[in-house]
Amino acid sequence: MSRAFVNEDDQRESPFVPPRADLPDGVPNYVTPAGMEALLKEKEILLLELKQLVAGNDHDKQNAIAVLNTRLQMLETRIGSAQVIEPEESMPETVRFGNFVTLQIGNTEQSQQFQIVGVDEANLKKGKIAFTSPLARLLINRKAGETITLNLEHGSRIFKIMDIRQQK
């Protein structure tokens, strides 16, 4: 097609939509019940935003709609592949997905609690680590009292498992 017949206003780049949290190929999309609720709530919010979308001009509106549709598509894929892992009824003897784990860091008295969650739920500031993270992979199937060593780029860090509690 000749450039003479191309509308200059239609020559716009697709807006960038950041990808969701990384889920390696072939790894199941485990989520806690609370994580599934959060995904479904996020979907409701995005649908509402799409429905109520009001932007300044047509170009901005089309870009905003494209971004929301892309985010919804990625979210739908995650929801569709989600495998909700219910908490175990018994007291946890070993660290499992969804558990809260209290760790003593190194030889200090300092401790920190983490919950092992799905990749979309992970938020280090809230003490939630993805089950795919190196620390979580070391913790899974370990028992209270055990010590683990996390090898880092510049050395290693030792953690002692102080307590294991199931998700609420």
Domain tally, the chain: 2
- Please give the pLDDT value at position 61: 81
Provide the pLDDT for residue 162.
96
**Tokens representing residue 122 in the block:** 């992970």
The separation between the first and the last C-alpha atoms of the chain, rounded to the nearest angstrom, is 61
Q: Kindly state whether residue 111 falls inside one of the protein's structural domains.
A: yes
Residue 91 within a domain: no
Clarify whether residues 37 and 71 are in a common domain. yes
Name residues whose C-beta falls within 8 Å of residue 81's C-beta, 6 or more positions apart in sequence: 28, 29
Q: Say which CATH number the domain at 55 has.
A: 1.10.287
52 occurs within a structural domain: yes
Residues 116 and 156 placed together within one structural domain of the fold: yes
**What pLDDT, on the 0 to 100 scale, is given for residue 7?**
53
Q: Which domain holds residue 35?
A: 25-84
Run means of pLDDT, 10 residues per run, the chain, 168 residues: 53 75 92 96 93 69 86 95 86 88 90 95 96 96 95 92 87
pLDDT at 64: 84
Confidence (pTM): 0.82
Please check whether residue 34 lies inside any domain of the structure: yes
